[in-house]
Structure formats: C-alpha cells, structure tokens
Structure 1
Amino acid sequence: MTVEKIVHHVFKGVGRESLAFGIKWISSIIQILGYAATGFGWTPWNLYLFVIGVVGWFAVGVFWNDKAIMLIHSVALASMTVGMISQS
C-alpha cells in the first residue's frame, strides 16, 4: 500500500487539492513553530516540529507528483533522523 492510498483512505470524501492545500499550510505553520523553537533554544521540540512539517510537505509532494519537493524533504528528513540518532 502506498502513502497516497493510506492518506486517501484516512481522508475519504475530501478533495485531493483541498487536502494538499490543508496539509501544505499546516506543515508550513508547524515548520515556522520549529524555527521559533530553535530561536528560543527549545530542543528537542524544535526537531519534532521540523520532522512533522517535513513529513507533511513530503506528502504534498506526493499529491502533486512533484519530485523536487519529495527529494528535498526526504533528504531533510534523513538528515534530521541521522542527527537525532547520533545525539542519543
């Protein structure tokens, strides 16, 4: 089962573009909160917020079939994951 099929199953009845629009804005706000958390030194909360935002934007890339968005956010997620594991 693909990510897209899972998301469509969870959000039945919601239009594809409406769903992408909502995820895009929610993910953007969460990433902005991640930047604010970084500014205030709220670690590891900043990383958790960034991970949620990055996963959301990756989902938007899947909806739009935009490989550039999927690439940059998969690299960001991998980098953050490696960094978080190495700090443990």
Structure 2
Amino acid sequence: MRTGIHPESRPVVFRDRAAGVAFLTRSTAHPARTIEWEDGAVHPLIDVEISSASHPFYTGTERVLDTAGRVERFERRYGRTASNRP
C-alpha cells in the first residue's frame, strides 16, 4: 500500500437505536459524539437506525410474501390456465 493516501481507521461504536445494541468495530468515519465503552475507553459514537440486531432477515422475523398472488399474475400474463396444469 502506498503511504499517505488511505484514511485513518480507528475504533468506533455503532449503536442500533431500534434494538438498543452497540457494536465496537473499526471505521474511518469521524463522528462528533462520543461514548464510554465497557472497557472504560472513550470512543466515537455513530447511531444507526437498523443493523443485524434489528433487521428482519438476520433476526429470523422475515415475512413470507404472498407468492400465490404472484403465481396467478404470472399465469394470467403468459396464458397458463387451470386446464393445462399438470
């Protein structure tokens, strides 16, 4: 890597406001707010609206969409009827 062209990476706390969970990770962001972490050190803080702790895909609360309606719409468009179904 060339020196002087990459942004500085440092520990930053990302707090999910929906789930109330905080993650300490590395980032190049420069937020103005700070928070005291569990180890007693003060780190920059970024509040996020959604993360893996509150997103339906990761929490297992994802809803199944109405696939029957989609199949019927597909059959209407492309001419498949109930008489020629297997």
Higher helix proportion, which one?
1
Question: Which of structures 1 and 2 has the larger relative contact order (alpha carbons within 8 angstroms, sep 6+)?
Answer: 1
Place the TM-score, normalised by the shorter chain, in its bin.
Answer: under 0.3
Q: TM-score, normalised by structure 1?
A: 0.23
Q: TM-score, normalised by structure 2?
A: 0.23
Higher strand proportion, which one?
2
